[in-house]
Amino acid sequence: MGSNPISPLMIHEFVNPIPVVTPMGDGYAIYVRDGGTFENDVWCIALEDSTIKHFRTDQIKIWKNATFDIKDK
């Protein structure tokens, strides 16, 4: 029995969904799955039209939020 060189994927579910902007519209991030060392993470987004879609990290932006000091440029 050898050791498995591939680590298991990690998923982080958000207690408070994060408002995000995606190429398909605005929505809320529900959870993010670790893509590993050489891949983007995969985000599960509930869009405003009630559909659930998955996006890569490079496809989404977090909405500006003064609470977290996230501002427009």
pLDDT score of 9: 74
Per-10-residue mean pLDDT for the chain, 73 residues long? 60 91 95 86 94 94 71 62
pLDDT of residue 10: 87
Whole-structure pTM value: 0.73
pLDDT score recorded for residue 52 = 96
Amino acid at 27: G
How far from 64 is each of 9, 34, 37, 61, 71, CA to CA, in Å?
Answer: 29, 24, 28, 9, 5
